[in-house]
Amino acid sequence: MGIGSCSFVSSLPLALVLVSCLNGAIDAKAAPPEVSGCNIFQGSWVYNDSYRPPYDSATCPFLETEFDCQKNGRPDHPYLRYTWKPSACELLRFDGEDFARRMKGKKILFVGDSLSLNQWQSLTCMLHASFPSSNYTLNRAGDVSTFDIHDYGISVVLSRNAFLVDVVKEKIGRVLKLDSIVNGNAWKGYDMLIFNTWHWWLHTGRKQPWDYIQQGETIRKDMDRLVAFKEGLTTWSKWVDSNIDPATTTVIFQGISPTHYNGKEWNESSTTTCDGQTQPISGSKYPAGPPPPATVVNEVLGKMATEVTLLDITKLSQLRKDGHPSAFGSEGHQGNDCSHWCLAGVPDTWNQLLYTILVNRGRR
């Protein structure tokens, strides 16, 4: 296998691509098929009637009700029986023991909105299921939740943060500051950082947690949200470039998590949502293509000096119109949540891919 057979994780020259290519070129026999020349984010969902998720939601003691679709009465089960199959290889199974060995004594921090909460909850449930009798603690202090597995000295921390850049209370009101990231002081000293932001950039009205938006000296009442997102993400990227030593800290960006509120995106009517969906989209193509913020993420990460790995979950999650809580989330039958994901569910695959990236990096 030569360099020519490398496939690309995205259009970016990311670390993962290089690792895959080098393994493929130099050590094709020793490198298992999970990584060698394989884009793990390109593939399709496969139904397997005997597959079971890495944990049963009923036995994860700290799973938040909003994600616990089975407890909230979701009647169907097939959405728990799909596994992600990359086109060019088999995916590694999540091995909690191996994960714990690799991360022993280390601190992982998720920073972002409720999609980070979704992935953090999935990972903590996966680890809990791997070591059901081990001593763990879960502490919440303000916006920070810390899950510690004491026997391994592993900390998996979540810091809720919708924009990454700062929102500051000033005389005129709450100001979203696209160029300011004092928040970042709390992100130092971790072995692995996993960032995400997007969904809150779209909120208007009562759900919008700011009154003004500031860019340089200019303060506005509003602006194009995608442009604002790009500006904020660029500020974050500069923070990473000047504050993170990639030799000691692994930086991951959790890609844009798609919603399913408009069936037109997958060739159904515009009034169709995730509600009542019980099957993924078959094959590996999502009719609507990538959402605009995913393109922004690619652009911004592509300009960074620091090696940041994109956990490119966008397309594989776009295919899972059946994976959301819909009427089985926090608001129950009053609501229709097509933004978050049921747990067990799709974020378990995100973590399986995160694990694959870890294993891959360990091979260097």
Ligand X SMILES: *[C@@H]1O[C@H](CO)[C@@H](O)[C@H](O)[C@H]1NC(C)=O
- Residues recognised as catalytic: 114, 337, 340
> Quick one: DSSP state of residue 326?
B
| Least Cβ distance, residue 51 to ligand X (angstroms) | 4
Closest approach of ligand X to the CB of residue 252, in Å: 26
Minimum distance from CB of 45 to ligand X (Å)?
A: 12
Closest CA to 33 of 320, 360, 268, 282: 360
d(CA 194, CA 309): 9
Rounded to the nearest whole angstrom, what is the least distance from the CB of residue 156 to ligand X in the complex? 15
Give the three-class secondary structure for 141.
Answer: strand
356, 298, 251, 320: which is closest to 40 by C-alpha?
356
Give the binding site for ligand X (CB under 6 A). 48, 50-51, 135, 150, 267, 287
Among residues 78 and 287, whose Cβ is nearest to ligand X? 287
Task: Please name which of 166, 164, 199 lies closest in space to residue 180, comparing C-alpha atoms.
Answer: 166
Amino acid at 294: A
CB nearer ligand X, residue 3 or residue 46: 46
At 252, is the secondary structure helix, strand, or coil? strand
CB 100 within 8 A of CB 42: no
What is the closest distance, in whole angstroms, from the C-beta atom of residue 17 to ligand X in the complex?
Answer: 26
* Min separation Cβ 2 and ligand X, Å: 29
Q: Could you please report the per-residue DSSP string of 235-262?
A: HHHHHHHHH--TTT-EEEEEPPPP----
- Cα–Cα distance, 145 to 162 (Å, whole number): 15
Straight-line distance from the first to the last Cα atom of the chain, in angstroms, rounded to the nearest whole number: 18
Take residue 30 and report the two structure tokens written for it: 């020793």
Which amino acid makes up residue 139? N
Q: Residues 16, 86: contact at Cβ < 8 Å?
A: no
* Cβ-based nearer residue to ligand X, 84 or 201: 84
Q: Provide the total of helices (H) and of strands (E) in the chain, helices listed first.
A: 7, 13
- C-beta closer to ligand X: residue 54 or 232: 54
